[in-house]
Amino acid sequence: MLPWDLYVIITTSLGGGRPTLELVRQALAGGATAIQLREKELPARQLVALGREIRELTRSAGATFIIDDRLDVALAVEADGVHIGQEDLPAAIARRLLGPGRILGVSVGTVDQARQAVADGADYLGVGTLFATSSKGDAGEPIGLAGLKAIREAVTVPIVGIGGINSSNAAGVMAAGADGVAVISAVIGAPDITAAARELLAAVRQSRA
């Protein structure tokens, strides 16, 4: 199974004015095991150029590289996979277009959505929003740890919790059944991104021990 421990989502506008590649480098230096590029406003050409550079950084670090939403860009930059939401390209279509060699992640917030995503070919699920968060405008109402536990009991694929997670509540997320945590502002919004990533990764791994 891929190491989903610390899944850092890169949205440059939340990075305190720092360049995208610097956010990625510092997150990887802190031990991020997966990087997702989530830039909703960038044109495809810019996204591909950026994605190619991040592909090299993640490959060197041994980290998984996922593109948010844009399956075409994921294929163009040879990312490890794509992550889609409930309003994006249907998961079954994404699975067919991706082929068997790449990873498909799907955002879910209910047991029914989780079961459907798995039936459609999802390799892992992003489960949330767990706690209140300002990092994602379309996050919806938090489902809490009880919602996470219910989804964990319903599916066997890896799941990463998302939404309002930080080093103080990460252990609870793991105890509820997550295989890792996905974060935006808790890492890339921190003054010291590398230190924030290390602290969060330690909380995740200590919770397993």
Residue 1 falls within a domain, yes or no?
A: no
Catalytic residue selected from 38, 70, 152, 198? 38
Binned at pLDDT 50, 70 and 90, residue 124 comes out as very high
Q: What is the pLDDT of residues 92-122, one digit of tens each?
A: 999 999 988 999 999 999 999 999 999 999 9
Residue 86 falls within a domain, yes or no?
A: yes
Catalytic residue selected from 55, 70, 95, 136? 136
Residue 197 falls within a domain, yes or no?
A: yes
Q: What pLDDT is stored for residue 1 in this prediction?
A: 63
Residue 96 falls within a domain, yes or no?
A: yes
Catalytic residue selected from 95, 102, 107, 135? 107
Q: Residue 23: which of 48, 53, 1, 46 has the closest Cα? A: 53
- The range of the structural domain enclosing residue 181 comes to 6-208
Annotation says 115 is catalytic:
no
Task: Return the CATH number at 118.
Answer: 3.20.20.70
Annotation says 136 is catalytic:
yes
Q: What pLDDT is stored for residue 209 in this prediction?
A: 78
Q: What pLDDT is stored for residue 135 in this prediction?
A: 62
Q: What is the model's pTM?
A: 0.96
Residue 125 falls within a domain, yes or no?
A: yes
Residue 147 falls within a domain, yes or no?
A: yes
Widest distance between CA atoms in the chain = 44
Dihedral sign, Cα of residue 27, residue 29, residue 32, residue 33: positive
Q: What is the pLDDT of residues 134-178, one digit of tens each?
A: 666 565 789 999 999 999 999 999 999 999 999 999 999 999 999
Pinpoint the alpha helices (H) of the chain.
20-29, 44-61, 71-76, 91-98, 111-119, 144-154, 170-175, 185-188, 193-208
Annotation says 38 is catalytic:
yes
Residue 148 falls within a domain, yes or no?
A: yes
Distance CA 122, CA 158 (A): 10
Residue 194 falls within a domain, yes or no?
A: yes
Q: For the chain, how many structural domains are there in total?
A: 1
